[in-house]
Structure 1
Amino acid sequence: MNDDFDFNQELVLEDERVMLRPLQFSDVGNLLYFSENEPDIWHFSLIRANGRINLEHYINIALNARGNKSEFPFIVFDKKTGKYAGSTRFYDIQFPLATLQLGYTWYGKEFQGTGLNKHCKYLLLRYAFETLGMERVEFRADNNNARSIAAMKSIGCKVDGILRSNMPTAEGGRRDSILLSILKREWHEGVKQKIYNSL
């Protein structure tokens, strides 16, 4: 397990389809179109990024968490279209426990259902398990977010359970969160190949 990870490094993960590089505040300009024109992207999100002010707030929260060494956010660039597509991140990084969560993932509508997400997940999971030495990668979502849950199951995530009334929603209610995960042995015993074959 690699616990000397440098949160200040310019970590870039890429293949022939996608490039993930560290999110910067200047990326407000690269993501502003989605923020202003596709606000429903964040319908299930706890932190909304609709509108410039909310997007700036969203990015600042991510960058502060990186500074606190608990998260590592990326911006996603789609090489096929030559456009920025969205964002994702490692968060709740727990090196002593060899676990982290993968989430805060969103893409503009143009990039949803194009296979881009699987390229991103392959690169992120490979890095988590094979470079960082994580034993478990966890995923969470609003239990009503059928699209997100289907995407996670399609890459080999297994459902651990439902966390009832887990956290407040942006609208002021409470949500049930579904908890899914991939274990290191599952990655090596089939999940890695399954995702690779689907790329």
Structure 2
Amino acid sequence: MSISLSQNTILEDESVLLRPLMESDYKNLLEFSINEPDTWKYSLVQANGKENLEKYIQIALKAKENETEFPFIVFDKKTGKYAGSTRFYDINFEFKTLQLGYTWYGRAFRGTGLNKHCKFLLLQFAFETLGMERVEFRADNNNERSIAAMKSIGCKVEGVLRNHMPTQGSEARRDSIILSILKNEWFDAVKANLKNKL
């Protein structure tokens, strides 16, 4: 992994702190896991219930060991509470690309502006510290809330991969929408526009 993305990378502003996800964060996220199972309706990796949350964290940390992902836990400074999780994944330093996703927040933190603060910090780090040329986002094409959130931060829709992946707990397959932000777009307009929304 790049020296810029160290084991203790922390991103923060006045509203939010993102720090590396740890095994002990199980206790910080358990409340959502037990009480808000709908959070993972569109997710391929479920974290609903105690066992699934443990597996979710273990899978994320294994991918971090393999240097393909970097998961964060999200702490909302305004409420003084942990709010959810997000991560970089499919990290490719040679091609200077990565994906940003596996993002979820507890119900009380949705629509509060927290996501925009997180995305600003993550995108700034990806483009300005890691030197990425492209940050990609994917979602279930039926996940309207997630797609709207990605468009609102400045992502451009590239297309839809039809019948792309199996869905959780069913034989049905999902279409995946692909969105992205390029480095020049970040510096030309996306950064300033997103900063104005914070």
* Partner residue, 1:145: 143
Q: Is contact 1:36–1:50 with CA below 8 Å preserved after alignment? A: yes
Matched residue of 2:94: which SS?
helix
The aligned amino acid for 1:129 is F
> Structure 1: any 5+ residue segments left out of the alignment?
none
Q: Is contact 2:4–2:129 with CA below 8 Å preserved after alignment? A: no
* Partner residue, 2:37: 39
Q: Is contact 1:7–1:66 with CA below 8 Å preserved after alignment? A: no
Q: Is contact 2:47–2:55 with CA below 8 Å preserved after alignment? A: yes
Q: Is contact 1:7–1:69 with CA below 8 Å preserved after alignment? A: no
Please give the TM-score of this superposition, normalised by the length of structure 1. 0.97
Q: Is contact 1:85–1:107 with CA below 8 Å preserved after alignment? A: yes
* Partner residue, 2:180: 181
> Structure 2: any 5+ residue segments left out of the alignment?
none
Change in Cα spacing, 1:6 to 1:189, as seen in structure 2 (3 Å) is: closer
The Cα shift of 1:7 comes to 5.5
The Cα shift of 1:109 comes to 0.3
* Partner residue, 1:15: 13
* Partner residue, 1:162: 160
The aligned amino acid for 2:31 is Y
Please state if 1:116 is matched with 2:117.
no
* Partner residue, 2:67: 69
Change in Cα spacing, 1:7 to 1:129, as seen in structure 2 (3 Å) is: closer
Question: Within 1, Cα distance between the matches of 2:133 and 2:119?
Answer: 16
Moved more, 24-33 or 8-17: 8-17
Q: Is contact 2:4–2:130 with CA below 8 Å preserved after alignment? A: no
* Partner residue, 1:24: 22
The Cα shift of 1:9 comes to 2.0
Question: Within 2, Cα distance between the matches of 1:107 and 1:86?
Answer: 4
Please give the per-residue CA displacement for 1:115-135, whole angstroms capped at 9, x wherever unaligned: 000000000000000000000
Question: Within 2, Cα distance between the matches of 1:24 and 1:6?
Answer: 19
Please give the TM-score of this superposition, normalised by the length of structure 2. 0.98
**Residue of 49, 56, 59 corresponding to 1:58:** 56
Question: Within 1, Cα distance between the matches of 2:18 and 2:49?
Answer: 23
* Partner residue, 1:107: 105
The aligned amino acid for 1:165 is N
Change in Cα spacing, 1:8 to 1:185, as seen in structure 2 (3 Å) is: closer
Please give the per-residue CA displacement for 1:114-159, whole angstroms capped at 9, x wherever unaligned: 0000000000000000000000000000000000000000000000
RMSD: 1.0
Matched residue of 2:174: which SS?
strand
- Matched positions, count: 197
Question: Within 1, Cα distance between the matches of 2:85 and 2:6?
Answer: 18
Matched residue of 1:97: which SS?
coil
Please give the per-residue CA displacement for 1:4-54, whole angstroms capped at 9, x wherever unaligned: 336552000000000000000100000000000000000000000000100
Please give the per-residue CA displacement for 1:40-80, whole angstroms capped at 9, x wherever unaligned: 00000000000010000000000000000000000000000
Q: Is contact 2:155–2:179 with CA below 8 Å preserved after alignment? A: yes
Fraction of identical pairs, as percent:
70
Question: Within 2, Cα distance between the matches of 1:6 and 1:23?
Answer: 17
